[in-house]
Structures are given as C-alpha cells and as structure tokens.
Structure 1
Amino acid sequence: MSQRNLEDNLDRSRVPGIRVVAPPHGREAELRVVEDVISTIEAGARANVVVLQSDQGSGKTWLLERVAALAARRGFAVVDGMSPSVATGRPVSLVGGRTVRGEDDRIAVLAAGCEAQVCGRLRNEPVLVVLDDVHWVEPALLHAIGLVMAKLGAAPVLWVFALDTAHAESANGQLLHSLVRRQRVQRLGPLERLSGAAVVSLVQGLTGATPDPDVIALCESVGGEPQSVVDLVLALRQEQSLVVNGGVVELADGALTTDVPSRVEAEPGARLPAAFVRMVRSRLGRLSLRCREVLQVAAVLGDRFPPQDLAEMLGERTSHLLGPLQEAIRAGVIDSDGDEFTFHREPVWLVVLGTVPALLRSLLHRQAATMLVEQGRADAAAVHVVHFVKPGDEDALRIIRDAAAGLLPTAPRTAAALAIRGLEIAPPGSDDRLVLATSAVAALVRMGNLGAAVDLATEQLGTCGESASSSLRTWLATALMLRGDESAAQGVLAGGGDTRDPLPDLLLLNTFSGEERREVVAMAERVLAEPGSHGDAVRAAALTVRARVRWREGELSEALATAEEAIAVQPGLPEVCQVDPLWMRAWMLTRVRRLDDAFETAEQARRVIDEHNLGVLVSLPLALRAEVRLVQGDLAAAEADATAGLRAAERAGTSVYEPQLRAVLVMVSLRRGDLAAATRHLRRLEDRVPGGPPVLLRCLLSALLTAAGRGVREAMGELREVVGDACSRRRLVLEDPSSTSWVVRTALGAGEADHAELVVVTAEEIAAGNPGHSAFAAAARHGRALLEDDVTGLAGLEDLYGEDVWAAASLVEDRGSMLRAEDRDRAMSELDQAMERYDDLGAAWDAARVRRKLRRLGVRRRHWNHETRPDSGWESLTTAEGKVAALVAQGMTNQQVATGLFVSPHTVGFHLRQIYRKLGIRSRVDLARIAP
C-alpha cells in the first residue's frame, strides 16, 4: 500500500481521533542507514544501492514508503518502479507500455525509458529509484535497470530494491545480486517484528493514548508489520472496540481472559474483538490446508505444546510435522521455545482454537486428557477434562479436584480457574463441591482477588451450612482480615459449628492485626506453653504476638530475638498467607535504625511472597521498603514504593498495610512542603481506617500536619491525651526515635513543659532498658537537652542517630536555634548547615522553616528557580502561588497558610491577589469552586 493510500484509509472525518502516522516506529535503525547513504550522495559521492531483504509481511513496503518520504524531504526526486504513487512529489513509473519483439530490443527500450525519466530529474535534483517486490518484477526490467545503473554510476542516484527472503535464490534474486555486486551496496534486513516499545509508539501515534497490555497483545498478534497494526487499530476504532480512559487506550468490553482461565473457558476467545478475529483468520487462510489442520489440533493442546504430544494426537511420526510447523513458523503463527512450540501470542492461539468446531473440540480435549493421564500428567489433563466432563462423572471430577488442590501452592491462578470451572460441574451438596470451593477460595486469596474470594466463600457457606469445612471458613476469615474487616473475620470463625477449636486459626489470622488484645495474648502464651500440641505455623504466629507485646513493653532486644525465633519456626510453605514474623522484624529494625538489615528483611519477605505466589501480599515488602527509604532521606524512592504498594493493595483489595503506605506519602508530601497533598493522603488514611489499629500513627501524623498548618498549640490539642497516658506515651516514643524531639519541641512551643517532661522521662526509661540501641539513647538525650535548653547536651548525638538523616538534620537545626541568643555567628553557621541538608534531601518544608529562622537573625537565603509560564490559568501560577491556592481552597485562613508555609500573612495576601488576577476570579469562594 502506498503512503497516499495509507493516508486515505486514515481519513479523520470517518474515524475521529485517528492520526496519520509518519514516524518510523521500530524501523529507526534501517532509516538511519538510508539517511547516511543520502548524506554521502549529497556530499558528492557517486550512486549508491540499498537492498532490503526480509520475509513476506515483515513491513518492507511500509519501510520503502518512509524511505521515499525521507528522500523527498531531503530534496530528492522519487521514481517508483511499482506503486502508483508514493507520499511525496510526482513519482514516475519505470514500466513502459510499448511491446517490442526480441528480448534484447525490449531491454533496450525499457532502459532508454528508465534513463530518460531518471536523467530528466537529475537536471534539477538527486534521484531516488525505488523498486519493491523484485522477485515479481519482469526480468527484462531488471536487466534494463542494471544497464542504467552502470551508465549513471557517477550520478547522484540512490537505488533501493526490496526482495522477499523466500525468493532470494530465485532467478530474479540471483539477477539482482549480479547487477549490484559492483555497486556500493548497503544491505538491510531481515526486519524484526514490531513489538514492545515500537507497538506502543505506533498506537500512541494513532490514538493519542498509551495502549494497555491487552491492546498491545492484540497489536503484536497481527504479524508485526506496521501496516497491520495500523489496520487493526483503525478497524477497532471503527467498530467502537476501543475506549480511552485517563490517557490509556483499552478494550471497550473489558480486559481479556488470559492464561489458564482462558484455557478452561467453554467458548475460547469469546472476548476477543471481532475485527481482530477477522484479521487473524485472514492470515490463517493464507496457510495450506494441512498446516491449518495441524495448528487446530495443536491449539487444543494449549498455547504451548511439545511436538511429540502433537504427533501422538495426530497419530503420525514427528518427522511428518516438519513441513506444516515450518510453514507456521515462517508465517509468524508459532515460535520454537526450547523443547516446545508456542503460539506467537495468546490471542492468536485463541483464534486458532476457536476455528475448531465445538463437538470436535470436546472430542479432542478428551483425547488429550486420556493421553496425559496415561503419561502420568493428571494435573495437565485437568485443563482438558473440564471441557468434556458430565455431571456425575466422579473420576473426571476427582482429576479436577486433585489438580486444583495440588496446584494451589505453586500456581494459584491455575488452581482457581480449575476449581471454579469444576464448581460449575460438581453436583450440589457433594463433597467434591466443598473441596473445590475451598481450593478456589484459597487460590483467589493467595493470588490477590479478595473480592471474588469473599463472594465465592460466602455463597458456598450459604449452601453448605454446618457441613462447611473449617478450612473454607479459615480462608474466608483470612480474606476478610486482609481487607481490614477483623470483626467479620472473627465472626466467621466463631460461627463455625464444627468440633475443632477455632482459636489457633484465630491466632493465625491475628498475625495481620497490629493490636494485642488480652485474649489473643493469652492464646499465644497457651500455645507456647504446650510445645508439641500445635503446628509450626501456629507457633510462629504465637511468637510474633509475643514479640509485639515485648516491643510495646519496651523490651526491644527481647522483641527482636523473639521475632527472629518466629521466622526460624515458621514453615517453609505457609498454611495461610502468613509472612508476619518477617514484617515484624523489618518494622522493628527500621525503628532501631538498623536500616540495611531492615531493607534486607523486606527483600526476604518479597522473596517468600514470590516463591509461594502470594500475590495478595505484594504490597507488604513495598510498605517496608518505603519506610526504610523515607528514614534514609530518599523521598523519591519512598514515594515510588508507597505508590506502587497502594496500587498493588487496590488491585488485591488489601487494606491491612495501607496505613503504613499512606503514612509514608503523608510524610513525603509534608517534607516537600506540599501540605495540600499531605492533607489529602491523611484524609484517605482516616477514611479507610477510622478507628482501626493504627490510631497512634494517625494521631501523630495529624498532629504534624496541624502544627504545620495551624501551629503548635493546636497540635498539642491532638497530642495531649496520648502524652498523658503512660502506655500510649511509651508507644509514641517507640514508634519513631525522632518523634521524641519533635513532641518535646512542640510541647515547649505550646508552653506545656510538663507534657514535654513526661515524654523525656519515658524516652530515658526506654533508653536505659535498651543500652544496645543507640537511636533511642540519642532520642532521650536530645529530648532532655531541648527540655533544659542545654546546647552542650546535643554533642555527639549525630553518631548515635546513625542512618536517620532527618534526626541528624533536626539536631543541627536545634543547635542553631538554641545558639541564637548567645552566639549569633555560630547559630547562623549551624542553621546554614541544616538548611543545606534539607535542600539536599528535597525537604522544602524544613528548609523554609530554617530560612525563616535565618531571616529573624537578619540573614536572607533565597532559592531561585525560574520557570517560563503562561500569563493566565492554573499553569501560570508559580510554585508558591500554587501552594497558597491549594491551601486556601481547602478553607484555611491567611494566618493558617502563613504558618504552614513559614511566610507572613502579608505574603499570603500578596500571593492571593496574584492568584485572583491570573485565574480571573474575585474571592476565596470562587477559588474553592474552580480548584482542581
């Protein structure tokens, strides 16, 4: 297809949103070679030849059109020997209409016509001659072109030929080789199929949006030729099969069913768009009948198949498959992958499978299942059994049931698909149905589909009643616990109705909870007092509860030792989703500032999760890593991990680790000075966990934001109750070593020295009881120095804080603040050093606070960052104006905004006037109304 034809097919009036595509998606390297050749011709070199040799359908014509367009832009006249037109200029056909007797005479006439056309153009500009599909060209024309090439060897002409690899040794292929062997030749090809970034770029050019994985998979399944991708996207848009959401183009009918779930579907490829199915079937139609039949049987075996299984299914020798399989490989339908063949992409496999009539497909599945069972591969046979099993077929149901249970630890996605399909077949009230339901729910929990797990378990419990297994109840309770609904989980276990003691299960589930209720602690001690009466998983859970209790009591070394004991006891394959001893150890190590060990423990948790396919817990190591990176001062990495963790939690429906993830984002936003974003994250945390376990964490974060926005007196209003309670106060100090100095500083600023004294005494008690943990010793001494206004008490604390960059920076800031009255020069030096540290960390909020202190000493430190902006609209606001606008839109007064941004109310008023002018509004009400 020529470029002009391509553009006609992309008529925007008929297909809104489609753009004409010119960029060389995936063919940049080839075009760079051609561009270099063009440059040499422009520099005065003689004629050059480019030979493009690649497989049929790989995009040779598409590339030649881009070569023609490139040459035309560089001032070349384009002479096209085959196509009726190309993108630019007025190309001339080399094939004349005159017929002459005698081959030599005909060649001479063709050569004369070709020479006339080329030379006529050469008078004004260099020339590009393009000849596509050389293998189909009349030999006389090739001979004629050879004569002209030899005659014009010193002229600025670029000759480009394209040849199908399959015809490289044909008469025309050999003739072309002979003609160009004395020329300066650049050889291109073979062209690789478009995939990955090239497909994404091409679809972006067509739709103006980024394709999602399903759209990419479809585009990579139509042969890898650019024009095929263009045609597919065009057809999908014409049939309204694509939608754009948030800058992402996706399938209008929802995500495709992939992997094992697609293998057990009754109707293969039912969700594939019709336009895609037509295109793939058209490609299949160009294959021989023998090749298509072999592929259909292969498709029944799956998207990947061993050739020996295919040969057995066909009742043939493997050697007899050589021809049809090679044909399918050349056509890009299948690939060779080690000991197996694979369909090029799963959507291609589904289309091929869909061409097999339903009755024959069922019979072939039965044949495949029989073959696999005889080979001792019952798990593999189960995928086929679901396609022909009838109600009451106990042997077939047993294969499905056993396969689902066996695959649960290693392949939960496969187990879920098999078990759910088996439930559609199993008779109501049968034992098979209960076993399948338990396997399905367990698999859904492990893979991270909690919503489906809860729905399925609830439905099955409603039909099974008292006969429901405790295992099914345990998995339902696990799902509820991971969703953050602890009370519902306890209710499920308590209402079991069986004779087995549900308390050990409850104990296991409580490893997901951050609180230590009395009954849970008592249960843990009872388990640990009876060494041989419980399994390793239950003992590990009991030790984890004991470790948490010891931590909360201020016994830090004992708590860490107990957590490590729990890790050692925990079984290699968890009975339920249990990696909490690792979580507890990483959490504790972060607080004692052994950050490298904490990070490695988080990675260990990630490896356990990956090894046991616990997709439901993917957010856990991300939460642990985000906390470590925050303490290390890497705000960008902390934000990235926390954001990824929230996305993973949202996909799985898991909220149990969301407080930790949200807390990191609150602190990152606060450090950067984005109080509006910090407030949004805190509100999301409060919405998700209104009265849940992390009450103390939420209280501390809220007080931090209150102090930033409304001042320390308001902040103490939120902290006073916590500080006044001995247990809560101890937990507050243990939550973060640097929290001691912040609370003391806040209490003193609010004129509440008595509360500051309480916090310092508690910190000193913890430090005295844990001499091996220097971070808490530093926190206690830091708090005491602030309380007594003793700058000498801060000496040597930075080393004790270790890797805590924020505590170290605040220590320097405190030294500067305490020296202001007695040693102005040294105070300025310390504050300058603190500001430099905060700037290096990207902590704009902290740096602004230090700048305000320096201003009060008569020193101005500015941080200029000029950006070109439009004159009006939201994009016209400066960074400072944007922060003011966001806070005012939330209802803050000028004084509150000034406090949060460490500027004067007068400055806030000035910024507001600029904001009103740029946005064309007159009041705060207008600002709140139009705020994004």
Structure 2
Amino acid sequence: MTVRRDFQEPAPSRPDLVVGREEPFGSAREQLARGGSVLLHGPAGIGKSTVLRALAAEYAGTARTVLRCSATESESHLPFLALADLLGLVLDDVAGALPAAQRTALESALTGRESALQRDGLALRLAVLSALRALAADGPVLLVADDLQWLDPASAEILGFAARRLGDTPVRMLCAVRTEGPEYDRHLRTAPPDTLAVRLGPLTRAQTSALLDHRGYTGLPRSTVREIHRTSGGNPLFALELGRALAESPTPPRPGEPLPVPTSLRALVLSRLDMLSDEARRTLLVACVGARPTPALLHAAGRTDADAETAQAARLGLLATDPEGPAVRFAHPLISAALYAEAPAHERRAAHAALSTAASDPIERARHLALASTGTDPEVAARLAEAAALARDRGAPSVAASLGLLAARHTPPDGEPGPDGHRLQAAEDAITAGEVDLARDIAREVLTRAVAPAERVRAWMVVIEAAGQAIGEVDAAFPQALADAGDDPRLLALVHYQLAWRGLVVQGDFAQGREEAAHAAALAARAGDRRTELLALAFQAQAEILMGHPDAPATIQRALREPQDPRVACHHNGAGSARFRWLIMSDRLAEARSTVTALLREVQRRGMAESEVHYLRFLAETELRSGQCGRALALARESLTLARDAGIGEGAGAMQASLAEAAGGDVERALELGREAVGRAEEDGDAVYLSRALAALGHAQLVAGDARAAAGTLRRVRQLEAGAGITDPARGRWQGDLAEALVRIGEPAEAQEVVDVTRTHALRLGRESVLADLDRAEALVRAERGEHEAAIAQLTSVRDRLAKLGHALEEARTVFAMASLPVRRPAASYEEAAQQFRRCRALPWLRRVEAAAANGPAERSAAAPGGLPVACLEGLASMERQVAALVMEGATNREIAGRLFVSVKTVEATLTRVYRKLGIRSRVDLVRLAAGQGRR
C-alpha cells in the first residue's frame, strides 16, 4: 500500500527542472538510491521544498509506502500532530501488528482520546518503531517531512527515537529544515544516523537567470538580471518574486535605479522596520543609498545620532556587523531594497542630496546630485558627463553607462552634446562592460528619433556590435547604415569595418572579410579616424594570418605603428590580439604568454568585460599548448563562467573549455561542451567558430575513444575550412587528430592524404609543431602497414622536436604512441607516457595510458576494468563504462574518483546517467545486472 498526500504545489515532472540545484540534487538522489536518508537545509526561500518535492516524486515509485507531513509554525505547539499526519491514515493497517499496550498508546496519541496508557512514553515510542517496521515488512518506506523546524517537539523526539533504532529496516527519511547558517546538527536527531546533510546555498547569477527563464520571466536585460541576483542575494524565492514584480510593472526601472520590491517581499522586513523611529529610518535610508556607508559618512550627511540608530537596527537584525571594518552593512540586500522602495520620493531625494556633498568620491557625488534633482539642468548634466569619463578611465564602464544615461536625462533638448549624444556614449560604455542588452535598447531608442547621420550610424554600429557572433540576425541594419553614412568617409569606414565581420562570420569568406577591412582602413585613414583604421588593420591582419597570406606580418606591423589608441591597442579585436595569434601559431609560446598576460591585465584594469573573456580563453589556449593542462582548465572554466554571466562569447568559451576538459578534466564534460559550442555556432550562423567548435568536439571524441565519430566530425571541419579559404593548419590543429582517427577506423590511405595535403601548407608557412603532429600521424599510418621500425624512428624524431618547441602535451602523446606500437621492444614504456601525462596534469590521457597498460599493447575499448562482463554496459559512454565497472567491483564513489582522477560529484553525476540509460535506480541494481550478465 502506498499513501500519498499532495503538497501545496505539484512536483516538477523531471529532476532537470530543479534549476540551479543539479549538484545537491545529484548528491541527495545518490544517497536515496543507496538506501540512505537525506536532510536538506538552508535559509527561507532557498529552494528546499522544491528539491524535496522533486526527490519525493522521483523515489515515491520505488517505495511501497510513502508517509508525508509538512509542519507549520502556527501548529507547532500541538503535540503529536506530525505523528498524526504521518501515521493517521495507516493506523488501521498496522494496529493488528502491535502489542495491545503499544496500540493503545499510539491510538491515544494520534486521536487525542483519553487513556490510562496515554502517558506511557515508552509504549508510544515503541509503537511508532513497531509501526514503521510493520510497514517496511511489505516493502520500502519513504518518510517525507518538510519544514522540520516547525515539527512539534513530541513528534520530533519520538521520530528520533525510532530512527536511531531502525538499523537495516528499509525506511528512508527525506526531510527539509530551515537554517540560517550551517547549524543543522540538532535536527539530525530526528533522522537515522547515516543521514546525509545537504545544504542549499545561494544561486549564482547564471543560475538565477536560468531560473527566471524557466519560470517565464524571459527577455530581461542582463543588467536587470544582475540587479535581481544582487537584490535577492541568490535566493530563488526572492528572485522569482522580483521577476514577477518586473513582469507586472508597466514601466521597467531605468538603469541605475533600484528594482521595485513587491509587497510579498516587503512584508518580510517591514515589520522590523516599523520598530524603528522615523529618524532611525531616515538614517538607514541614507545608508542604503550610499555606495560604501560608514558611521563617519552618515555623520557627514547630517545624521548626528547615527551610532545609536544603527546599533538599534543591528539589534533588530536589520544590519550585520562587518568584521573587516566599520562599514554599515545590511543583513540582506532585500532589506535595503525594501527600505528604499517604501520611502517617499521627497525623502529619497533628501538622502541623495545629503550624500551629494558628504561623499568623498566625485563619481558618487555626481550620481547623488542627479538623483536629488528633478528636470533638466545643464550644470548637473555636465557634472555627470565628467563623472562618466572618470569612471571610464578607472575601468568601470558599467558605472559610466549608468552616469551617461543620467546625464541624458538632465540634458536640455538643445544642449551640446544633446541627450542622444550622452545616450550613445552610454551604449558604447555598456558594450565595453558586456551589457549588450542595455546597449541595444539604448541604440534602438535613439534610432526612433535621431536624424543626424553621425548619430544614426553610431547607433547602428551599437546594434551590430551588440549582436556579437549572431551578426547575421541584424543583416537589415547594414543597408540602412550605409544609406545614413552617405559619402562621409569616416561614417563609411565604420560601416565597412562591420561589413568585414559580416563577410567573415556569416559567409565564412576570409577573402571578402579581408577586402572589406582593407577598404575600411583606407576610408578611416582618409577621414583621419585612427581608431577605426587601427581596428580595420587588425582585422585585416587576423584574416591574413588564418588564410596563410604572405602579407600578414606586414599588416600586423602597420597596425602596431604609432599613434595608437590605448583602448584599441588592448581590445580583443586590436593589433595586440592579432600579434598574439601570430605568435602562438608560430610556436613562440613564451612570447605569446607574455603578450596575452599583459593584454589581460590591461583590459581587467579598464573593465573591458568582453575582452577579458577572450583573453582568458587565449591564455588557456597558450597554457594548453605548453602542456600546463591544470592551469589551462582553470582559465578556460573562468572564461566560460564570465561569458555565461555576461552573455557574450559563450560559444567560443565552450569551445576552449571543451579542449581544456579533454586535456586535463572530464572527457564527458568535454563532449558536452563541444556539442554546445557547435550548437551555438550553428544557431548564430557563425561560420568562423563553427569549424573550431567542430574541431574541439572531434578532439574530445578522439580522446574518449570514439575514433569513428571523431573522423566524421573532423572530415566536416576539413570541408568547411577548405570552403572558407583557410589554409594555415596552425589555426585549429585538427589535421593530426583527423589522420589518427582515420588510422584507427582502418582508413590509412585517407589519413596519408590528409597528412600530405596539410604538410604542403605547413612547410610553406614554417609551422614546426604542426609538422611534428603530422609526422606522428604518418608514423601511425606506417605502423598500420607493418613498417614498425620506420614508425619508431619517425616518432622518436617527433618527440625530440616537440620537446624543443615546448609542446609538452603533444610530446607526451607521442611517447604514448611509441609505447602502443605492437613490437617486442617498444621505444618507450607506458610508465614513461604516464609520467609525462602526470607532469602535464593531463588526466584523461593518463586514464587512457592506464587502461592500455592493463589491457596490453592494443587498447580494448569495449573492455571494462578488472575483466568484468560488459555486455550490460553497451550503449554507455567511455567514462560511464569505467565508473559502472568499478561499481561492479565494489568501489565506493570516493575510491572511483581517486582511481579515475575526477571529483566525487563527477562520479555521482556519471552514475545518475548510467542508471537512467540502463533503466535501473541504484548500485545494487547495477551489480545485480552485471551478475545476471555473467551467468549467461
């Protein structure tokens, strides 16, 4: 018999709908699959009930009986109420299995009837224990308890008594409890001794964005999502309420303004605010509008009793003590937001006016002056424009954009520059800051009314720039921009520079892109626009590098000549970036590293978010070529995280992260990221990154042992790059991988043809490391033909050349190839290869060496470790087969993680996929399945 009592809202239909909680959800479901119990804990609104409902829905089907209760604060004083919820509906089913005294005590507790035995505490405790055992005799029992903190003490004590004595009885408890910190120990007394405590923490900005999208609050600008995340503190309930308020609001907040706080959230904090005096509330209002409020600042703003008033607020839990200094810090950002939302407009202006003179920073003073003023005021607008320029110079383009919009609001229509001039500068600052949604909205607003050609073309450039890699989506902007530019060479240079990108990204035509860039550079030089000329020359150089054009070095030198524009010099599309690409393709790794490190440092100083994303990726690429796989992995992950947060360059970030994971992380993750990168490039119509994304996916497939898939993917890369006119093999370095995959699937003739064609270009361009990769692939072709001595000689040469060039990972791959040759005395051993891969922290390759050493010279990709039967593992990916086989051997998750050089969380996630693919639910089922296969 199964008892189900619905919660207040339906459970998600699939676990993947528990947005942002994949890791804790995976840990909890693994614990339940093992037959253990789980205690979810965290602050109010953090998502405990959502995760609990999803877990309960998933595991209710495996339980014979499901018992549920959900306590409330108002009922927590009623004794045995939770017991009544849990056991009331099954009392008749278990009563017959209980001794008379226990039955009477339980009936008395659950029904509230008077009885001589009602006060017999031991009988009641034993009755609950016996009832659970009786239910478990018919099959597993799942006990689900939400809001454990409101459980009546009598029920909590008795459940704890039973839980400590259940032993191996198949009773699992799934509970959730509200905790503000890590203090959950006392609640564990209600659960079995082996209960896993899982804390749910704040969501990241990317997870908050995904949650809002999932609940239908789509299309929010990233600056708004960022503010929702900041105001909510990563609390999903608070974030959804803020998202709902924005969706219902007829007018969205202006950039820089606080979010509207719905009544549902104000109620959480306003009751405590009501306990403050009016003057104390005004003091806190000044604190909440200040950028870095301190007692000294509050005194300077005229709040003479600030010390006593902030002390009172701290006692009420509104302020938190800052251990690192005297700053006045609110206990939660929502308190500050609710206080500001509740304050009358004249009190807000008064608070800003006080800080417009008290604040020490000129940027903050200008901002407060603007927010204290109403209507247009040329003097205020000028102060704001100066502050925006200062913020720009300090490397805070997001602040500059906000100040620019305030300047536009306070500029008279006939001002010079006009309001739209300030808006366009704000849009360009937003682009620099990575806030492309905001920039696009500003530019489109300007286009609705601007008539001046310069302003219109400038706005069109923002619209095109904001499209990023999806430039094909704004095709209609180009003819309109050309019409607005007329015959002005300066404006035409801007448009033709973007047309160069369009030719490259949309059509994949490097020759056309080069021609447009050269035309743009010439127009800009005629107009005296050095900034656009430098960008166009840098683009021309990039195209020539990838085409293998002989003019590339000369074009780079032209782009590096003085005078330089400081922002272009460090921009990811500037000459510095072109020089980095030339250096790394020419195997000058040390120079490439120092160049990109200096560029990264400069864009971080300037707050150039998109350039930072790119340079982190470039530095990861450099470290990967040098064999520093651990550092490359960390940099690639950081770049991808920043890209996801800002919504820029995600496809390129996924591509580089895939390569880094395949070299130093998790191959399954590398495959996922490779597929993501391909999908994004195809969705955006991005011909430039599609071939690179496919190359990354093909490499991951080769590392995973799927040579046939790798060959198919990399053949597509070859076709795309031939059509685009890309002849420099150092661009993606996929040709050696394609040849190796072809050898492994029995196509040595095609592999040799790939080597021969690529070698011609590599020799012409002097690409030494590519030539070494090709020679390694050719040695595999020779080995396949039985020319083992020639193969050994060629691999020995390759190893020495790669060592001299500093390509440590490729050197280790070459040693591995030497050790794998089917000869009596191989030129290298698996142990040598393993040592080199360990030095590189190339964990996926190290696992391949260990598998090869265990299985002999020829890798047996279908075999599982330990010689276990593998028929039941068909259809699983490489990592999934390894993990499943180790589970069959009896290894724990921690032991598996240690043996495979991955995290425990990766093992748990992999096991979850294994269970789903095999149609089972636990480790026990996996072992049984293997045992059944072995008997066949």
Query: Do the two structures share a fold, i.e. TM-score over 0.5?
Result: yes
1:610-646 deviations in whole A, cap 9, x for unaligned? Answer: 2111223442133223323444556565455444433
1:553-577 deviations in whole A, cap 9, x for unaligned? Answer: 5479964993796398643234996
Distance (Å, rounded) in 1 between the aligned partners of 2:677 and 2:288: 52
- Which position in structure 2 is the counterpart of 1:807? 810
Distance (Å, rounded) in 2 between the aligned partners of 1:262 and 1:576: 31
Unaligned runs of 5+ in 1: 1-11, 26-194, 218-240, 885-910, 921-926, 928-932
Distance (Å, rounded) in 2 between the aligned partners of 1:717 and 1:616: 32
User: Which of 595, 609, 614 matches 1:615?
Assistant: 609
Unaligned runs of 5+ in 2: 1-5, 12-36, 44-178, 189-195, 209-228, 247-252, 887-912, 923-928, 930-936
What secondary structure, in the 3-state scheme, does the structure 1 residue paired with 2:242 have?
coil
What secondary structure, in the 3-state scheme, does the structure 2 residue paired with 1:284 have?
coil
Report deviation, 1:854.
3.5
| Structure 1 residues 792-803: aligned runs within 5 Å | 792-802=793-803, 803=806
Distance (Å, rounded) in 2 between the aligned partners of 1:748 and 1:299: 67
- More divergent stretch after superposition (690-699 vs 449-458): 690-699
Distance (Å, rounded) in 2 between the aligned partners of 1:553 and 1:476: 29
- Which position in structure 2 is the counterpart of 1:95? none
Q: Using a 3 Å threshold, how does the CA distance of structure 1 residues 423 and 197 change in structure 2: closer, same or farther?
A: farther
1:665-685 deviations in whole A, cap 9, x for unaligned? Answer: 167359955496367436524
- Which position in structure 1 is the counterpart of 2:692? 697
* RMSD of equivalent CA atoms: 6.1
Distance (Å, rounded) in 2 between the aligned partners of 1:644 and 1:24: 27
Report deviation, 1:653.
2.7
Report deviation, 1:243.
15
- Which position in structure 1 is the counterpart of 2:683? 688
Report deviation, 1:434.
0.7
1:236-285 deviations in whole A, cap 9, x for unaligned? Answer: xxxxx99999996653323799xxx9995388866892234225415635
Is the 8 Å Cα contact of residues 781 and 794 (structure 1) preserved in structure 2?
A: yes
One-letter identity of the residue aligned with 2:739: V
- More divergent stretch after superposition (609-618 vs 511-520): 511-520
Distance (Å, rounded) in 2 between the aligned partners of 1:483 and 1:308: 50
The answer to whether structure 1 residue 708 and structure 2 residue 716 are counterparts is no
Distance (Å, rounded) in 1 between the aligned partners of 2:624 and 2:197: 41
| Structure 1 residues 293-308: aligned runs within 5 Å | 294-296=283-285, 298-299=286-287, 302-305=290-293
1:389-441 deviations in whole A, cap 9, x for unaligned? Answer: 12x54444454455445534543333333444566676789863312321331
One-letter identity of the residue aligned with 1:795: T
One-letter identity of the residue aligned with 2:731: E
One-letter identity of the residue aligned with 1:661: A
User: Which of 640, 646, 649 matches 2:643?
Assistant: 649
Q: Using a 3 Å threshold, how does the CA distance of structure 1 residues 15 and 629 change in structure 2: closer, same or farther?
A: same
1:57-84 deviations in whole A, cap 9, x for unaligned? Answer: xxxxxxxxxxxxxxxxxxxxxxxxxxxx
Greater Cα radius of gyration, structure 1 or 2: 1
Distance (Å, rounded) in 2 between the aligned partners of 1:22 and 1:758: 56
Is the 8 Å Cα contact of residues 710 and 738 (structure 2) preserved in structure 1?
A: no
Report deviation, 1:605.
3.2
Distance (Å, rounded) in 2 between the aligned partners of 1:207 and 1:815: 47
1:786-842 deviations in whole A, cap 9, x for unaligned? Answer: 56652323333223213434422332344356x53xxx3223954665477568632
- Which position in structure 1 is the counterpart of 2:402? 417
What secondary structure, in the 3-state scheme, does the structure 2 residue paired with 1:825 have?
coil
Is the 8 Å Cα contact of residues 670 and 678 (structure 1) preserved in structure 2?
A: no
Report deviation, 1:338.
11
One-letter identity of the residue aligned with 2:730: L
Is the 8 Å Cα contact of residues 401 and 432 (structure 1) preserved in structure 2?
A: no
TM-score between both structures, scaled by the size of structure 1? 0.56
Is the 8 Å Cα contact of residues 540 and 569 (structure 1) preserved in structure 2?
A: no
One-letter identity of the residue aligned with 1:481: G
- Which position in structure 2 is the counterpart of 1:251? 239
What secondary structure, in the 3-state scheme, does the structure 2 residue paired with 1:795 have?
helix
| Structure 1 residues 45-64: aligned runs within 5 Å | none
Is the 8 Å Cα contact of residues 434 and 469 (structure 1) preserved in structure 2?
A: no
What secondary structure, in the 3-state scheme, does the structure 2 residue paired with 1:626 have?
helix
- Which position in structure 2 is the counterpart of 1:734? 730
One-letter identity of the residue aligned with 1:265: E
- Which position in structure 2 is the counterpart of 1:273? 265
The answer to whether structure 1 residue 545 and structure 2 residue 529 are counterparts is no
1:16-58 deviations in whole A, cap 9, x for unaligned? Answer: 99x9999999xxxxxxxxxxxxxxxxxxxxxxxxxxxxxxxxx
| Structure 1 residues 143-158: aligned runs within 5 Å | none
Report deviation, 1:919.
6.9
The answer to whether structure 1 residue 826 and structure 2 residue 822 are counterparts is no
- Which position in structure 1 is the counterpart of 2:444? 458
Q: Using a 3 Å threshold, how does the CA distance of structure 1 residues 776 and 555 change in structure 2: closer, same or farther?
A: farther
- Which position in structure 2 is the counterpart of 1:628? 622
Distance (Å, rounded) in 1 between the aligned partners of 2:456 and 2:772: 53
- Which position in structure 2 is the counterpart of 1:40? none
Is the 8 Å Cα contact of residues 852 and 859 (structure 2) preserved in structure 1?
A: no
Q: Using a 3 Å threshold, how does the CA distance of structure 1 residues 591 and 198 change in structure 2: closer, same or farther?
A: farther
- More divergent stretch after superposition (264-273 vs 468-477): 264-273
The answer to whether structure 1 residue 604 and structure 2 residue 589 are counterparts is no
Is the 8 Å Cα contact of residues 447 and 616 (structure 1) preserved in structure 2?
A: yes
- Which position in structure 1 is the counterpart of 2:71? none
User: Which of 491, 494, 497 matches 2:482?
Assistant: 494
The answer to whether structure 1 residue 211 and structure 2 residue 230 are counterparts is no
Q: Using a 3 Å threshold, how does the CA distance of structure 1 residues 760 and 832 change in structure 2: closer, same or farther?
A: farther
- Which position in structure 1 is the counterpart of 2:494? 505
User: Which of 388, 391, 404 matches 1:407?
Assistant: 391
- More divergent stretch after superposition (462-471 vs 531-540): 531-540
User: Which of 460, 466, 479 matches 2:466?
Assistant: 479
TM-score between both structures, scaled by the size of structure 2? 0.56
Distance (Å, rounded) in 1 between the aligned partners of 2:185 and 2:391: 38
Distance (Å, rounded) in 2 between the aligned partners of 1:393 and 1:247: 40
Q: Using a 3 Å threshold, how does the CA distance of structure 1 residues 538 and 290 change in structure 2: closer, same or farther?
A: closer
Distance (Å, rounded) in 1 between the aligned partners of 2:484 and 2:642: 31
Distance (Å, rounded) in 1 between the aligned partners of 2:560 and 2:344: 56
Percent identical = 14
Q: Using a 3 Å threshold, how does the CA distance of structure 1 residues 439 and 335 change in structure 2: closer, same or farther?
A: farther
Report deviation, 1:372.
7.2
Of structures 1 and 2, the one scoring higher in RCO (CA 8 A, sep 6+) is: 2
- Which position in structure 2 is the counterpart of 1:384? 369
What secondary structure, in the 3-state scheme, does the structure 2 residue paired with 1:843 have?
helix
Report deviation, 1:203.
13
Report deviation, 1:461.
0.6
- Which position in structure 2 is the counterpart of 1:102? none
One-letter identity of the residue aligned with 1:842: P
